[in-house]
Amino acid sequence: MRVYLDNAATTPMDPEVLKEMYKVMESHYGNPSSIHAHGREARTLVERSRKTIAGLLHTSPAEIFFTSGGTEADNTAIRCGIIDHHLTHAITSRTEHHAVIHTLEALEKSGIIKLSFVDTDEKGNVDYNHLERLLQDNERTFVSLMHANNEIGTITDIERVGNICEQYNAIFHSDTVQTMGHYPHDLSKLKVHFLVCAAHKLHGPKGVGFLHVNHRIKIKPMIYGGSQERNMRGGTENIYGIAGLAKALELAYKDMHEHQQYIQGLKLYMIEQLKNEVPGVSFNGEIEPEKSLYTVLNVSFPEMDMADMLLFNLDISGISASGGSACSSGTDIGSHVLGAIGANSARPSVRFSFSKYNTKQEIDYTVAKMRELCAPGL
C-alpha cells in the first residue's frame, strides 16, 4: 500500500487540471507577445486565467502577476517592496518559510535593512502586542507574516495584522502558499500589499504561481527582460501552467467547504488514533480547528533508537511524509520552525499533511505502522 501524506510539500494534480492543460498544450502554442492570430489566442488565454483568479479573490486582474511559484513571488514582494520604497526596517517571525527569512537576512547582511523578529509562543502564535511595539519606532516598516505555517499549521490572523500595519503605515506581505485554495481570500477587504500563491499546493502544476500586488503600492520588476506581465516580469509566460493554475483555483473554490470538512475530519481522526495507539505522542503547533491549518499535522513521537531513520522506515512501509519543510529535505539540520517554538529536539517529529484524495483507511494504516515503529512491544 502506498500512502501519500506530504501534501504540504506538493499535491497530486487534479485530473481536471491535467485535462485543461493538455487541451491548451495541443491548441495554444503561440507566444502571447506575438501580434498574429496564434499569439492573440495565447494572450487571450493568459488574460482569461488572470480574470478568473482575480474574480475568485475579489480583486482586479491588474493586481495579479504570474510568476514561477511562491519563492519568486516572495522574493519579488520583499526585495522590490523594501528597495523601491527605501525602507530600512523589516519585521518577520522566526517560523517563516526560508523563502522569506533568507531573503530578509540577505537584505540585512547587505546593510539595506535592520531585521526584527516578532515574538511567537510555544505553539507558533504571533504576539500581536509585540508586533505593535516593534512598529512604534516611527520609521516605515516592511512586515512579512505568513497566513499558516507550512510545518506546524498554526494560523496567523492576517486580517488583524493588516489592520495593525495600516495603523502604522507599514507595508504588509503575507506568504499564503499553504492557504490559497484552502481558505477564501477576499482581497477587497483584506489590508495586504502583497500576497502569494504556488499552484502545486492546490492540485495544480509545479513551476507557476502568482503575486498579488495591491494597487496602492508600486514596485519595479525583479526580473527584467521583455514587456511581459505589464512590464512587471520579463520572460515568456508559462501559458500551460497559468491555465492549470486558474483551473486548480477555480476547482478549489467550487468545493472548498466540502473539502475542508472532509480533510479536517481526517486530521481529527488521526489525532485521536495516534493518542490511542502510540504512547507518549504529542503535537507541535496549534491543533484546534479554528487556529490550525486543516491540511497539516505535526507530531512528536517518543525518543527512540535510530530516530533519524523514522522517515526512511515510513517510506519503506509505503508512507510518504516529511520531517519538516519539504524545501529543506535532504539536509541534516533540524527544523528551524520546531527550534523556534522550543520543541524537544531529542524527539523525532513527522509532518503529515492531507488532501481530498486521502482516506481513513490510509490513516489507519499509517497509525498502525507508527505504532509498530514507536512501540513494537505493544
Give the CATH number of the domain where residue 365 resides. Answer: 3.90.1150.10
Q: How far is CA 6 from the centre of its chain?
A: 13
Question: If you average pLDDT over residues 12-17, what whole number do you get?
Answer: 98
**Exposed e or buried b per residue across 198-223, where buried means at least 16 C-beta atoms within 10 angstroms of its C-beta:** bbbbbbbbbbbbbbbbbeebebebbe
Q: How much is the pLDDT for 138?
A: 76
229 and 274 assigned to the same domain: no
* Average pLDDT score, the chain: 95
Q: Does residue 225 carry a pLDDT above 80? A: yes
Q: How much is the pLDDT for 328?
A: 46
Q: Does residue 325 carry a pLDDT above 50? A: no
Residue 326 binned pLDDT confidence (cut-offs 50, 70, 90): very low
Question: If you average pLDDT over residues 232-247, what whole number do you get?
Answer: 97
238 and 293 assigned to the same domain: no
Q: Does residue 206 carry a pLDDT above 80? A: yes
270 and 307 assigned to the same domain: yes
Question: If you average pLDDT over residues 314-332, what whole number do you get?
Answer: 72
Q: Does residue 52 carry a pLDDT above 50? A: yes
In the chain, alpha helices (H): 15-27, 37-57, 70-84, 98-109, 128-134, 158-167, 228-231, 239-254, 256-277, 310-316, 336-340, 360-374
In the chain, the number of structural domains is 2
Helix axes 256-277, 360-374, angle to 10 degrees: 30
Residue 334 binned pLDDT confidence (cut-offs 50, 70, 90): confident
Q: Is 327 a catalytic residue?
A: yes
Q: How much is the pLDDT for 290?
A: 95
Residue 274 binned pLDDT confidence (cut-offs 50, 70, 90): very high
230 and 262 assigned to the same domain: no
190 and 259 assigned to the same domain: no
Question: If you average pLDDT over residues 95-108, what whole number do you get?
Answer: 98
Question: If you average pLDDT over residues 238-251, what whole number do you get?
Answer: 98
Catalytic residue among 165, 197, 327, 374: 327
The model carries a pTM of: 0.95
Q: Does residue 251 carry a pLDDT above 90? A: yes
Structural domain of 289: 3-12+255-374
Query: Cβ distance 185 to 178 under 8 Å?
Result: no
Residue 375 binned pLDDT confidence (cut-offs 50, 70, 90): confident
98 and 195 assigned to the same domain: yes
Last residue of a domain, one of 228, 254, 280: 254
Residue 308 binned pLDDT confidence (cut-offs 50, 70, 90): confident
Cα radius of gyration (the chain): 21
246 and 354 assigned to the same domain: no
Q: How much is the pLDDT for 139?
A: 86
Q: Does residue 215 carry a pLDDT above 80? A: yes
For residue 315, the one-letter residue type is: D
106 and 161 assigned to the same domain: yes
Query: Cβ distance 350 to 301 under 8 Å?
Result: yes
169 and 28 assigned to the same domain: yes
Q: How much is the pLDDT for 377?
A: 56
User: Residues with Cβ < 8 Å from 264, sequence gap 6 or more?
Assistant: 289, 294
CA 114, CA 104: separation in Å to the nearest integer? 9
Last residue of a domain, one of 191, 225, 254: 254
Q: What is the tens place of the pLDDT at every residue in 122-140?
A: 999 999 999 999 999 878 9
237 and 366 assigned to the same domain: no
57 and 169 assigned to the same domain: yes
Q: How much is the pLDDT for 345?
A: 83
Last residue of a domain, one of 238, 254, 270: 254
Question: If you average pLDDT over residues 35-50, what whole number do you get?
Answer: 97
The residues pairing with 296 across neighbouring beta strands, listed in sequence order, are 353
231 and 331 assigned to the same domain: no
Q: Does residue 324 carry a pLDDT above 80? A: no
CA 130, CA 120: separation in Å to the nearest integer? 9
Residue 378 binned pLDDT confidence (cut-offs 50, 70, 90): low
